[in-house]
Chain A
């Protein structure tokens, strides 16, 4: 199913009659069968957007369209109930019905839909098998571990063959190892089922590994929608640049200047010459460079000089924190043998410098 989000707005009225604009003007399109991730820091409105897609909340403006049919808009009469939308949702807290067995939990949506008993049994067993929880089918949710509970929740979501699967931070309550394992399985499962999936997370690793496309949200606006690799390599603005990628991108306010035909950036002491047709001299930019795109130099050409403050050994690589020109740079390198307080020189990979307009 194709999901179109057109100019969706959501305003909450608080007790003091102050209104809070959680979603200001959201435009997104999720293709049929796509794994779409909504990524953003807490409070960016991503869960609200998911609730609007599910039908748990109504937007105060804009339109939500499923396969060319309007299912919600600023006009309340056009909003149809979650039941009619036929979407399924998996919650961070699992939200299993504690009084029902695993079997009954999975069967619940089918029973509400008044499906035939034999058919329910067949579907429940099939879903349980897909999620590998057949052994636990008679247990109560309280007897299961976190990972198993989340599997039950996912089984309950897929059992009635929804048109869209919605995930609200489903892995946040699992431990790191289980999270990685479940992530991989989830991706596989979505591929097999081919159901349009919207997945909300604040974890960029999850977003990058799972999503066919990722939308980065902040302050009720979509900052960028793109594939994971493009978000990393071509961030649209300073926020996306700083939010995506580990270790974090180095970001500085700089002024680009020109000396004859050559562009350069004047740091406090050092000067870095570079080539880039898209920036203009005499303009102030925010410059971004990923730690991995800074090279520790062994020659003296076009370099910055600095001193290593501290360093972190991350297995094969080293992350250096270098102070230079009254600024802090982090540099990610494969080279070895650094010491604290060591003087080093480094240069940026010219093609990897990002300039964001201020």
Chain B
């Protein structure tokens, strides 16, 4: 065997291991969701779609409400976050101002507060505004919570866009806002897409804020909803939990697949000498 083959073999086997390692729990999840009993490995296979029927059909479980809440809250949070972060990233990378790095570090510092340390005050504030068990109770904290990360990603993305593009646009007659909306945003689109997707996933998976700031299916999100699934007689309904988790996975999976092309990016190729 020559070196090239060994290299390929190592790459493939490592990739396989990593994929298996991360996908195994998902496989287990999917298998449990389509089995009548959770201990199918011991008791033998008994394929059924009963769990899915229950999750989607039984109204008292409110699964579809949770899903709807999650999607709406995550969508609004991520769009708002990315919009604010893009403007901030433009300002930080393109405008002349002092102490940019301190702003970035300050923002990063804020993101390091543990969620638990804030939750008490957050609860009081939301009670004061009357937001408890309403969408804004989650949307506002999510925006604040995800903004630092989005800002850092977008700053690094914007700073890779050559300055000559700004100059060219300016000479071509653009105002500062036209430069932003007609040149920089379209060029940074892959970065903005992936940041938005990341923000969406963050908001979609968030647990502790959602647990404390919501009380029932009117605004409760999926992670909390699933965690609080209860069986009729106190037993844990593994099958239904897994079915719900599997369905929950689908929107994220779909988003990733749809925007895969944009996430991979490479759109700036050809802007300047390549």
Report which A residues bind B (CB closer than 8 A).
51, 54-56, 81-83, 87-89, 91-100, 108-109, 112-113, 140-144, 146, 149, 156, 166, 173
Are B168 and A142 touching (Cβ within 8 A)? no
CA–CA, A98 and B164, complex, Å = 12
CA–CA, A97 and B164, complex, Å = 10
B130 proximal to A (CB < 8 A): no
Question: Which of B169, B171, B173: most chain A Cβ within 10 A?
Answer: B171
Interface 9-mer from B29-37, B197-205, B266-274: B266-274
Are B271 and A56 touching (Cβ within 8 A)? no
B167-183 vs A, CB cutoff 8 Å, 1 = contact: the mask equals 11111111100100011
Are A109 and B172 touching (Cβ within 8 A)? yes
Q: Which of B249-274 contact A (CB under 8 A)?
A: 267-274
Known: A93-B164, A93-B272, A94-B272. A99 touches B173 (CB 8 A): no
CA–CA, A56 and B165, complex, Å = 12
Please tell me which one of the listed residues B168, B175, B178, B186 contacts residue A95 in the complex, with CB atoms under 8 A apart: B168
* A157 vs chain B, min Cβ distance (A): 8
Given contacts A83-B175, A89-B167, A98-B268, 9 further A-B contacts (CB under 8 A): A56-B170, A56-B171, A82-B171, A92-B164, A95-B167, A97-B169, A97-B183, A100-B186, A113-B173
Known: A56-B170, A87-B171. A95 touches B162 (CB 8 A): yes
CA–CA, A94 and B182, complex, Å = 18
The interface residues of chain A lying within 8 Å CB-to-CB of B274 are 142
Please tell me which one of the listed residues B170, B172, B173, B187 contacts residue A98 in the complex, with CB atoms under 8 A apart: B187
CA–CA, A58 and B229, complex, Å = 65
The 5 residue pairs across chains A and B that have the minimum distance between CB atoms: A142-B270, A93-B272, A95-B164, A141-B270, A98-B271
What are 5 A-B pairs with beta-carbon distances under 8 A? A82-B170, A97-B165, A108-B169, A112-B174, A112-B182
Question: Which of A51, A82, A93, A149: most chain B Cβ within 10 A?
Answer: A93
Are A96 and B270 touching (Cβ within 8 A)? yes
Number of CB contacts from chain A to chain B under 8 A: 88
Closest chain A residue to B178 by CB distance? A112
CA–CA, A149 and B270, complex, Å = 8
The interface residues of chain B lying within 8 Å CB-to-CB of A81 are 170
The interface residues of chain B lying within 8 Å CB-to-CB of A108 are 169, 172, 182
B119 proximal to A (CB < 8 A): no
CA–CA, A87 and B168, complex, Å = 11
The interface residues of chain A lying within 8 Å CB-to-CB of B273 are 93-94, 146, 149, 173
CA–CA, A88 and B172, complex, Å = 7
CA–CA, A96 and B272, complex, Å = 7
The interface residues of chain A lying within 8 Å CB-to-CB of B182 are 108, 112
B189 proximal to A (CB < 8 A): yes
* A61 vs chain B, min Cβ distance (A): 19
The interface residues of chain B lying within 8 Å CB-to-CB of A92 are 164
Please tell me which one of the listed residues B171, B175, B267 contacts residue A89 in the complex, with CB atoms under 8 A apart: B171
Are A54 and B171 touching (Cβ within 8 A)? yes
Are A140 and B270 touching (Cβ within 8 A)? yes
Are B164 and A91 touching (Cβ within 8 A)? yes
CA–CA, A18 and B133, complex, Å = 57
The interface residues of chain A lying within 8 Å CB-to-CB of B269 are 98, 142
The interface residues of chain B lying within 8 Å CB-to-CB of A93 are 162, 164, 271-273
* A197 vs chain B, min Cβ distance (A): 14
Please tell me which one of the listed residues A83, A97, A112 contacts residue B271 in the complex, with CB atoms under 8 A apart: A97
Closest chain B residue to A99 by CB distance? B186
The interface residues of chain B lying within 8 Å CB-to-CB of A83 are 170, 173-175
* A190 vs chain B, min Cβ distance (A): 18
The interface residues of chain A lying within 8 Å CB-to-CB of B175 are 83
Closest chain A residue to B274 by CB distance? A142
Are A91 and B189 touching (Cβ within 8 A)? no
The interface residues of chain B lying within 8 Å CB-to-CB of A140 are 270
CA–CA, A140 and B274, complex, Å = 13
Are B168 and A98 touching (Cβ within 8 A)? no
Closest chain A residue to B174 by CB distance? A112
Q: Which of B141-190 contact A (CB under 8 A)?
A: 162, 164-165, 167-175, 178, 182-183, 186-187, 189
The interface residues of chain A lying within 8 Å CB-to-CB of B169 are 97, 108
CA–CA, A95 and B170, complex, Å = 12
